[in-house]
């Protein structure tokens, strides 16, 4: 994906801020207007927890901090080098057979998937 397209997508994410802010504050107003027993039942049905700090949860969910962090994560995901469904980055790796640095994609072969195991073998 070109840098221009990434910048446009990131700008589009930040452009949603006013709409998200209004929706978030509307949720807070509805919470404050709704009967306490109804909000507790709804939250309990969604989380499975009956005794939870409802006010603290709603305060955070409707806070500007939560909104900005969500938008920052969305923008960070746009600028990541590796994208889901995209090509793998061609980074340098060490060939265990001879100890030389080679490009990762030099191990790829047509018709055969390249599998990378980051786990431990012990």
pLDDT value of position 15? 93
Give the separation between CA 66 and CA 70, rounded to whole angstroms. 6
pLDDT value of position 71? 92
Tell how strand 92-94 and strand 101-103 pair up: antiparallel
- Taking each helix axis as running N to C, give the angle between helix 36-47 and helix 54-61, from 0 to 180 degrees, rounded to the nearest 10: 80
pLDDT value of position 102? 92
pTM of the model: 0.56
Tens of each residue's pLDDT in the chain, 122 residues: 688 888 998 999 999 999 989 988 888 888 888 887 777 777 677 666 655 566 677 777 788 888 899 999 999 988 887 777 777 788 898 888 899 999 988 888 888 888 887 777 76
Q: 112 φ, ψ to 5°? A: -135, 120
pLDDT value of position 25? 87
Q: 106 φ, ψ to 5°? A: -70, -15
- Taking each helix axis as running N to C, give the angle between helix 64-79 and helix 17-33, from 0 to 180 degrees, rounded to the nearest 10: 150
């Amino acid at each position: 994906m070109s840098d221009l397209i990434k910048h446009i997508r990131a700008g589009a994410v930040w452009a949603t801020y006013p709409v998200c802010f209004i929706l978030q504050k509307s949720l807070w107003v509805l919470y404050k207007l709704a009967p306490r027993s109804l909000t507790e039942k709804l939250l309990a049905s969604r989380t499975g927890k009956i005794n939870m700090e409802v006010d603290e949860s709603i305060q955070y969910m409707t806070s500007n901090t939560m909104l900005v962090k969500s938008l920052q994560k969305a923008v960070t995901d746009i600028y990541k080098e590796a994208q889901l469904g995209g090509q793998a980055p061609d980074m340098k790796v060490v060939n265990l057979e001879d100890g030389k640095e080679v490009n990762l994609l030099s191990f790829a072969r047509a018709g055969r998937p390249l599998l990378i195991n980051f786990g431990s073998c012990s």
